[in-house]
């Protein structure tokens, strides 16, 4: 084993010759701090030009173009179990329908609710938009309780 120093904290560490790299670290914590913008702004800028960036450019020249997205979508379409929310290009269909209904993009944190509780029924009259998850939860708390109570009344009569 060869004695070397941690590139971040300077602690003495031991590595096999085959495991030595340009930058050696005593722990993942030191390695992450060396790579982070917060702890090492100068080093962070240097690491942005990693060999993987160039390798990815060479191997993936087209990136995610509209054509590639369409091809991937067609390949995956219908392969799921059909239990979750339907998506179009990675975005939930009910959110797309709600945005069209509102005439604007949904804000971060806004929640779309299906009135009939059927995930695939994305008709505008079946969708409600809540400003937050807590508002959505309050609505459910009130209406779920009312629904349970109405079922109890029906069974007792």
Tell me: the pLDDT tens digits for 130-151?
Answer: 999 999 999 999 888 776 666 6
Residue 134 domain flag: yes
Instruction: Summarize the confidence of residues 95-116 as an average pLDDT.
Output: 94
Residue 37 domain flag: yes
The answer to whether residues 111 and 105 touch, using CB atoms and an 8 Å cutoff, is: no
Residue 27 domain flag: yes
Residue 19 domain flag: yes
Residue 122 domain flag: yes
The domain boundary, picked from 20, 35, 50, lies at 50
Looking at the structure of the chain, the number of domains it has is 2
The model's pTM is 0.49
Instruction: Summarize the confidence of residues 107-125 as an average pLDDT.
Output: 92
Residue 63 has pLDDT above 80, yes or no: no
- What domain range is 30 assigned to? 2-50
pLDDT of residue 124: 93
Residue 69 domain flag: no
Residue 28 domain flag: yes
97 and 147 belong to one structural domain: yes
Residue 156 has pLDDT above 70, yes or no: no
What is the distance between the alpha carbons of residues 13 and 108, in angstroms, rounded to a whole number? 46
Residue 108 domain flag: yes
Highest mean pLDDT among 78-92, 99-113, 133-147: 99-113
Q: Which of 4, 7, 46, 45 is nearest to 23 (CA)?
A: 7
Residue 154 has pLDDT above 60, yes or no: no
Q: Show Cβ contacts of residue 121 under 8 Å, excluding neighbours closer than 6 positions.
A: 114
* E strand or H helix at 111: strand 111-114
Taking only the tens place, the pLDDT of each residue in 8-56 is 999 999 999 888 888 899 999 999 888 887 888 776 655 555 666 667 6
Average pLDDT over the chain reads 84
Q: Which of 149, 153, 81, 152 is nearest to 120 (CA)?
A: 81
């Amino acid at each position: 084993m060869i004695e070397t120093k941690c590139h971040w904290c300077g602690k003495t560490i031991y590595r096999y010759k085959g495991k030595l790299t340009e930058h050696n670290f005593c722990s993942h914590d030191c390695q992450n701090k060396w790579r982070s913008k917060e702890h090492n702004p100068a080093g962070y800028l240097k690491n942005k030009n990693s060999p993987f960036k160039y390798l990815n450019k060479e191997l993936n020249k087209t990136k995610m173009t509209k054509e590639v997205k369409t091809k991937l979508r067609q390949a995956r379409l219908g392969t799921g179990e059909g239990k979750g929310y339907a998506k179009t290009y990675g975005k939930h269909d009910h959110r797309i329908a709600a945005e069209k209904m509102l005439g604007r993009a949904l804000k971060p944190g806004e929640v779309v609710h299906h009135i009939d509780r059927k995930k695939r029924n994305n008709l505008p009259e079946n969708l409600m938009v809540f400003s937050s998850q807590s508002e959505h939860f309050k609505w459910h708390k009130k209406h779920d309780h009312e629904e349970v109570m109405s079922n109890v009344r029906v069974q007792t009569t």
